Amino acid sequence: MLIDGHGRKVDYLRVSVTERCNFRCQYCMPEKPFSWVPREELLSYEELFEFIKVSIDEGVKKVRITGGEPLLREGLDSFIKMISTYKDDIDLALTTNGFLLPKSAQKLADAGLKRINVSLDSLKPDVAAKVAQKDVLKTVLKGIQAADDAGLKIKINCVPMKGINDNELVDIIDFCKEKGYQVRFIEYMENDHASKYAKGLNSEEIQELIKKSYNFEKLEREGSSPSQEYKLEDGYVFGIIEPHKDDFCATCNRIRLTASGVLIPCLYYEDAQSIKEAIKNKDIPKAVAILKDVLANKPEKNKWTEDSEVSARAFYETGG
């Protein structure tokens, strides 16, 4: 079992397979970065899998593949197959912008993927295009349907932004309710890489907007889910991810591995350690030692709880 320096059990590993992306979301990567990490500096799928095996052997129960846009990296289905066949009860999930799902959803399901989170910030083509800086909506909706048809369990992620999609939150709930997907609204996390015009809504503001159409109650927080759930009168449950709240970090069970082998203990801070050399040298005891050291130094809290704090970390690098 993996326990961090604050006594929290860590059993969830998020693995970013690429920092590259085919969208330019205002809150994440509004402009193409000055340079990408060269491909030859990335860990191969086999090398990433070596570390995933180590983590599973040490107690990780849930693995999420993310990015950048993970479906941009070729052979993702084979990577998923490696993980799903190593331990068939591993909770294996993927977070994607959905654009490449029409072609890949069935292959991913066949490889053993069970769950998928798709980002959907708007149901209006022009607004979705404004957020992603590309005409994406039709293809993303096709992708979500393809994932549904392939039998994947779907959650929708939406980042509410002031003056952009804040008049659509109820429409997004209605869409997800009808389709049987859970929606989770994610509070915008201020970061140096986002557009300087990006302004998010906090949980209270999100709730106020939804209250205009629906009554709902706050549910007891369960396990280490980052999402606070709320139940509408008809039983539909939506979530809000509230990193600006004091208690958000109390049950944090996550660590993150980037495509270049950097192990990150917290989404906010820049501290991290590389497991790249240990994995390339097949030095598993060293990889385990680095993992334990990173956990021992995992910060107790992010800093978004403090007014006007901005993280220097890029979401497209850490995988969100």
Residues that bind ligand SF4 (CB under 6 A): 21, 23-25, 28-29, 67-69, 97, 119, 315-316
- State the nearest-atom distance from the C-beta of 98 to ligand SAM, in Å: 8
Residue 302 binding ligand SAM, by CB under 6 A: no
Name which position in 80, 101, 128, 159 contacts ligand SAM (CB under 6 A). 159
Q: Which stretch in 66-74, 208-216, 218-226, 295-303 sits in contact with ligand SAM by CB under 6 A?
A: 66-74
> Which span sits near ligand SAM by CB under 6 A: 21-29, 134-142, 201-209, 261-269?
21-29
Which of ligand SAM, ligand SF4, none has residue 194 at its interface (CB below 5 to 8 Å by kind)?
ligand SAM
Work out whether 189 is an interface residue with ligand SAM (CB under 6 A). yes
Q: How far is Cα 143 from Cα 164, in angstroms, rounded to an integer?
A: 23
Binding mask 251-290 for ligand SAM (x = CB under 6 A): ----------------------------------------
Contact 12, 2 (CB under 8 A): no
286 to each of 5, 58, 231, 283, 295, how far by Cα in Å? 19, 13, 46, 5, 14
Comparison of 54 and 267: residue with beta carbon closer to ligand SAM: 267
CB of 200 to ligand SAM, least distance (A): 7
Under the binding rule (CB under 6 A), the answer on residue 27 touching ligand SAM is: yes
- Asked if 136 and 128 touch (Cβ cutoff 8 Å), the reply is yes
Q: What number of chain residues touch ligand SAM (CB under 6 A)?
A: 21
CB nearer to ligand SF4: pick between 29 and 264: 29
Q: Up-side HSE of residue 64: CA atoms within 13 Å toward CB?
A: 20
Amino acid (1-letter code) at residue 131: V
Q: Which stretch binds ligand SAM (CB under 6 A): 4-12, 133-141, 187-195, 259-267?
A: 187-195
The secondary structure of 211-263 as a DSSP string is: HTT--EEEPPP-TT-SEEEEEETTS-EEEEE-TTSTTTTTT--EEEE-TTSEE
> Token pair of 249, please?
């970090």
Coil/strand/helix, residue 279: helix
* Sole residue written with tokens 């659509």: 168
